[in-house]
C-alpha cells in the first residue's frame, strides 16, 4: 500500500470536516473561516482575562468585535506574512494570525504605536541617521 501524506494543519482539517456537511465547493470557503473564528475566539478569551471587569463592555460584544475584526483582516495579513516569509501556500498561517488578533484584544493602539516606533528606528538606521 503506498504511503500518502495528509495535510493536518487546522485549515485542511476544517475543510475536510466542512466538506462532509456542506460539500467540497462550500467547504473551501467555510473551513478557513471556521478556523479564523475559532482561533480568534480562543485569543479573545485570553485577552478577556486582561480586561478591567468594570469596563462596562459585555463579553459577548467583546467576542463579536474581535471575531469580526479577525474575519475581515486575517486573510490579508496572512498573505502579507506569507509573502514576507516567501511561502507558496500561507493558508496554515490563518490560525496563528487570527489567534494573535484575538489575543491582542483592545491593545491594538499600543501595538500600532510600537510598530510605528520600530519602523522609524529601522528607517533611521538605514538612512545612516543618528543624532549629529
What confidence score (pLDDT) does residue 1 get?
Answer: 47
Those residues of the chain that have pLDDT short of 70 are 1-6, 55-56, 129-132
Residue 3, classed as helix, strand or coil, is coil
pLDDT digits (tens, 9 = 90+) for 30-43: 999 999 999 999 99
pLDDT digits (tens, 9 = 90+) for 67-81: 999 999 999 999 999
Contacts 24+ apart (CB under 8 A), 116-119: none
Q: How far is the C-alpha of 75 from the C-alpha of 103, rounded, in Å?
A: 17
| pTM score, whole prediction | 0.79
Amino acid at each position: 500500500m503506498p504511503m500518502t501524506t495528509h495535510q493536518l494543519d487546522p485549515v485542511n482539517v476544517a475543510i475536510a470536516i466542512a466538506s462532509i456537511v456542506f460539500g467540497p465547493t462550500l467547504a473551501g470557503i467555510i473551513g478557513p473561516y471556521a478556523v479564523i473564528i475559532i482561533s480568534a475566539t480562543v485569543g479573545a478569551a485570553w485577552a478577556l482575562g486582561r480586561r478591567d471587569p468594570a469596563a462596562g463592555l459585555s463579553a459577548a460584544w467583546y467576542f463579536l468585535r474581535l471575531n469580526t475584526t479577525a474575519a475581515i483582516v486575517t486573510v490579508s495579513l496572512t498573505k502579507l506574512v506569507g509573502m514576507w516569509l516567501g511561502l507558496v501556500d500561507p493558508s496554515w498561517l490563518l490560525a496563528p494570525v487570527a489567534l494573535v488578533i484575538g489575543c491582542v484584544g483592545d491593545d491594538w493602539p499600543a501595538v500600532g504605536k510600537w510598530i510605528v516606533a520600530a519602523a522609524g528606528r529601522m528607517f533611521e538606521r538605514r538612512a545612516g541617521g543618528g543624532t549629529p
